[in-house]
A = this chain, B = another copy of it.
């Protein structure tokens, strides 16, 4: 059947060599190299247009009169669906709103698409809906349209949620990798790797003195505080693929090098310990309530102070800077004094982390 339909399709060869990847791998959705390949070689060439080509988390649309819109979409498939610090519902709201905020926009509206496995307890859905409501309310965002599909048992895993957000770009704001310059300071808004470790701890049954909670949170208000304190060149939320992916994306797009200092990376002791037990590098572990900001050196301290005055930025720290001597490469100065290249993740470290 499918064969017949395919023969009727347009005859354009698939740009990926069949010998390398004949089938979709987990790594194609990892946020790492194979994801990039997939986007650049499969989706981008076919859907090509100026808005998509920026490959930002959300698209900036030139629109009616002076206003520009930001739209972003994300599907959430986290396993387990309830975890310390949140659930798939709150995560699906925070995640998409953060993508909008990273575009320098104020999120206004969300759409929600539920794909639910037959047999999901209604009570679970209810708790998820409540969490979505709270998360949207806290962010001042309206969920304006939705869709529900139910899938036969065993053909989906409890619940998947797609959210799509729309926001308005702040006037006169131009944020993106293209603004990043040599000398820019790189700020992280708080401790890293917490979301991924919260999920993995549940999956692996790890127990600590206190439960490690996801950092899942909405970053819009923090960005609003920051933009009033100074110039922002670029923003990124280091979710799937962690700090490493976000930094490598910026380094590549800006054609500059990035140098970070391990000693300056905020990380909680328990998270560090969990990473060691699980054999994970915290630089590759997902965050869901943290941002990376690239700001001019001259304004970095002022912006950092403003961030520290905000509940979500108390532990903000300058972790590195933009350099020109190793373009497209992220280098870490380690605690013991050496340096190492921080590559983009090549496989799938943590499937279904968000």
Residues of A within 8 A of B (CB): 1-2, 4-6, 9-10, 12, 14, 16, 18, 21-30, 35, 38-39, 42-43, 46-47, 49, 51-52, 56-59, 61, 63-67, 69, 71-77, 79-84, 86-87, 109, 111-127, 129-134, 136, 142-152, 154-157, 160, 162, 164, 166, 168, 202, 348, 351-352
A2 to chain B, nearest CB (A): 3
Q: By the criterion CB–CB under 8 Å, are B81 and A2 in contact?
A: yes
Counting every copy of the chain, the complex holds 2
Option from B14, B87, B144, B147 in Cβ contact (under 8 Å) with A52: B144
* Inter-chain contacts of A114 with B (CB < 8 A): 75
Given that A14-B122, A121-B23, A143-B52 are contacting pairs, would A77 and B149 also be in contact in the complex, using a CB cutoff of 8 Å? Answer: yes
Do B24 and A116 touch (CB < 8 A)? Answer: yes
5 residue pairs, one from A and one from B, having the closest CB atoms = A29-B150, A2-B82, A59-B144, A164-B164, A73-B111
- A49 contacts B142, CB within 8 Å? yes
Asked if residues A9 and B73 are in contact (CB atoms below 8 Å), the reply is: no
> Which residues of B sit under 8 angstroms from A157, Cβ to Cβ?
151, 155-156
Given contacts A59-B109, A166-B166, 4 further A-B contacts (CB under 8 A): A65-B67, A72-B145, A155-B156, A162-B162
A10-B113 contact, Cβ under 8 Å, with A59-B144, A81-B2, A157-B155: no
